[in-house]
Structure 1
């Protein structure tokens, strides 16, 4: 693969690393802010989502290193997703878990958009890298749907 193609792939992968750093910060903040023990299931879900993103970030970083790049260590440049996640903090001042679930769903929408953008790039991906990105996107889609289901259930029971 040509050097400029490697740089293009590492740039795309670094964007996905930043997306996962956003997810980690957002879900960790959401989990930390839930104090009510009756919402333990939602808190556990948020913690699992953060852990999943740590794993995704690690796999993406390994791929970047294999391609000769340096993995990103910052959140998204624009910070839009991160700011949306950080709104979770104010959400919990009113103990509104439903609003937190809505914000997390919004964050998942942004994450899915990042993965969709990455996968729409038209070039020959290094062996195994596109499969890695597709697998993570699929997993994030499942997370999105799980958050949406919790949100719907929470809206009907609270």
Structure 2
């Protein structure tokens, strides 16, 4: 039986995996985007997700001594970004943007789940809240990019 501690660490490792996939997906989308503003947006999102992971890894190591950064993660989370990456390889700005929005909405939900855990260390909770806020802010701003020709 999995302990509450192990479940939390697994959830945090899932966030690491999802952010790693998002970083790659956004990078691929930037390569395929026709719109200069969308290309720039995807490049920034790719860099942001790499920064999210670096910060989260540091906090997890400080709180838990070690992490399994290469473990197997929940299939549904991984599939979301695999779907996004597949659509990012299509050469369609609107589809890529829609899938980026869908992926970010899923990320917000995952962050919310982690924040519900009462055993979450304060430093990690603060970081997760900051990252979630950034993703939410970007989701609100992205509406201007949806009207691209």
TM bucket, shorter chain = 0.7 to 0.9
Q: 1:89 to 1:56 in 2, by over 3 A?
A: closer
Distance 1:103 1:132 in 2: 25
Q: 1:45 to 1:118 in 2, by over 3 A?
A: same
2:99 aligned with 1:103: yes
Partner SS for 1:106: helix
Alpha carbons 1:26, 1:88 under 8 Å: kept: no
How many pairs were matched up?
A: 144
Q: 1:25 to 1:77 in 2, by over 3 A?
A: farther
Distance 2:115 2:50 in 1: 20
Distance 1:102 1:16 in 2: 21
Partner SS for 1:136: helix
Shift of 1:89: 3.8
Q: Which runs of 5+ in 2 are unaligned?
A: none
Q: Which has the larger radius of gyration?
A: 1
Q: 1:102 to 1:50 in 2, by over 3 A?
A: same
Distance 1:134 1:31 in 2: 26
TM-score norm. by structure 1 comes to: 0.80
Q: CA RMSD in A?
A: 2.1
Shift of 1:90: 4.6
Give the alignment of 1:1-158 within 5 angstroms.
Answer: 6-34=5-33, 36=34, 39-66=35-62, 67-73=64-70, 76-78=73-75, 79-92=78-91, 96-121=92-117, 123-151=118-146, 153-154=147-148, 158=149
Distance 1:133 1:114 in 2: 10
Shift of 1:99: 1.5
Worse-matched range after superposition: 125-134 or 82-91: 82-91
Alpha carbons 2:25, 2:88 under 8 Å: kept: no
